[in-house]
Amino acid sequence: MRILLTGAAGQVGGALRPLLQGRYEVIVPSREQFDLSAPEAITGKLDEFEPDLIVNPAAYTSVDKAENEAALAFLVNGEAPSVMAAWAAGHGVPMVHFSTDYVFDGKSRDLWREDDPTAPLSVYGASKLAGEIAVRSAGGPHLIIRTAWVYAAQGANFMRTMIRIAKERDTLRVVADQFGAPTTAATIASAFTQILEQADSDLSGSFARAKGVLHLTNSGSASWFDFARAIIAGAQSRGVKLKATEVIPIATSDYPTRAARPANSQLHLQRLKEVYGIKTAVWQDALDDELDAYVVQGQRTLHEPL
Ligand SMILES: NC(=O)c1ccc[n+]([C@@H]2O[C@H](COP(=O)([O-])OP(=O)(O)OC[C@H]3O[C@@H](n4cnc5c(N)ncnc54)[C@H](OP(=O)(O)O)[C@@H]3O)[C@@H](O)[C@H]2O)c1
């Protein structure tokens, strides 16, 4: 099977790449070779690559910046997946598209299920929802994987930001009234690889069993404050030298951002378990693994000393 993997330099794409490459033929075009902000070139590229499966974690992911760059966000997150999905449907090629908890408004206290009504609060969320709708309505075999609060030892993410700020400042103030499941890119990549292996050669049947949309995060729940405290404690216990050892809980209203975020981002994982038999690690265990990787990586690089 030949897989086209977009966004291979990103967190999820970067975690998927080595796992997929060990098992399949994988095409990993650079942003220049496959630019999602130029959707008019996509069909020609797909004719050239001739993939048997498209896996699309690439996205415009700057949530706050998107408020001022709506056209670009919709181009990359809505229009480009639409063109890919149309090509995929026309060629009977399955497509896997990554999406987000930010398609929900977060106003319910319940965990969000795949079929719950969407109502994004932000331009980013609306652009990702446009991508979901396009992929679904193209009519080909597809799986939309919604994830949340993604981080990794590499990349721009909350874990690395907390450690960096804690090296610079005496205290950290972190929002304590937004809840979700911190999720490692490694967890997503591992679960997705299992889904592919289980499907064997019947990806369409496998994706149909999940009704084309699946929630995939680490298990458990945390506020950003809980997550920050665990990061700081975990980093310290691994010998990372920090100035800030205290995390102070604040309210969302104390930390205004351009884009509104859902208060409750927790995704229900029942479908993942029932359809694919996958139970993901609790977020605290996944964080331990990622902090270990961060420390090993820090020991290897002069630019990010412990
Ligand atoms: N990060 C989160 O917390 C989070 C939460 C929920 C859902 N998600 C979803 O999960 C997926 C993966 O997220 P991630 O955290 O891995 O994102 P990421 O680290 O920001 O990576 C995004 C990737 O997309 C590429 N990209 C951006 N614009 C592009 C364009 N115009 N043409 C081609 N490639 C482009 C980037 O390329 P460069 O490397 O060249 O910049 C990067 O490789 C996305 O669909 C995202 O919406 C993420």
Is 64 part of a structural domain of the chain?
yes
Is 108 part of a structural domain of the chain?
yes
pLDDT tens track for 181-219:
999 999 999 999 999 999 988 999 999 999 999 999 999
225 backbone dihedrals φ, ψ, rounded to 5°: -60, -45
Report the residue among 30, 62, 69, 150 best suited for mutation to probe ligand 1: largest number of ligand atoms under 8 A from its CB.
Answer: 150
Nearest CA to ligand 1 atom 15: 11
pLDDT tens track for 61-90:
999 999 999 999 999 999 999 999 999 999
pLDDT confidence of residue 297? 84
Average pLDDT over residues 273-278: 98
- Contacts for 7 with CB less than 8 Å, ≥ 6 apart: 13, 56, 57, 58, 59
Residue type, position 17, single letter: R
Is 243 part of a structural domain of the chain?
no
Is 237 part of a structural domain of the chain?
no
**CA of 13, closest atom in ligand 1:** 16
pLDDT confidence of residue 201? 85
CATH number at residue 129: 3.40.50.720
Neighbours of 197 (CB within 10 A): 9
Is 239 part of a structural domain of the chain?
no
pLDDT confidence of residue 302? 46
Nearest CA to ligand 1 atom 40: 31
The DSSP symbol for 79 reads: I
CA of 237 from ligand 1 middle (Å) equals 31
Q: How many domains does the chain have?
A: 1
pLDDT tens track for 10-48:
999 999 999 999 899 999 999 999 999 999 999 999 999
Check whether 113 has a pLDDT greater than 90. Answer: yes
Beta bridge partners of 143: 96
Which of the four pLDDT bands, split at 50, 70 and 90, describes residue 300?
low
Is 198 part of a structural domain of the chain?
yes
CA of 11 from ligand 1 middle (Å) equals 7
pLDDT confidence of residue 298? 77
Rg (CA), the chain: 19
Q: How many CA atoms lie within 13 A of 110 on its CB side?
A: 6
Is 294 part of a structural domain of the chain?
no
What distance in Å separates the CA atoms of residue 126 and residue 242, rounded to the nearest whole number? 38
- What 3-state class would DSSP assign to 138? coil
pLDDT confidence of residue 301? 62
pLDDT confidence of residue 200? 81
| 196: enclosing H helix or E strand | helix 185-199
Cβ(7) – ligand 1 distance below 6 Å: yes
Cβ(63) – ligand 1 distance below 6 Å: no
Strands 171-175 and 150-151, sheet pairing? unpaired
Is 188 part of a structural domain of the chain?
yes
Check whether 303 has a pLDDT greater than 90. Answer: no
Closest alpha carbon to 209 in 49, 104, 94, 110: 94
Cβ(145) – ligand 1 distance below 6 Å: no
Cβ(148) – ligand 1 distance below 6 Å: yes
Report the residue among 5, 12, 123, 135 best suited for mutation to probe ligand 1: largest number of ligand atoms under 8 A from its CB.
Answer: 12
Average pLDDT over residues 154-180: 95
Structural domain span for residue 22: 2-156+182-219+265-281
pLDDT tens track for 125-165:
999 999 999 999 999 999 999 999 999 998 899 999 999 99
Average pLDDT over residues 267-293: 98
Q: From residue 144, how far is each of 212, 231, 236 by CA, in Å?
A: 6, 30, 37
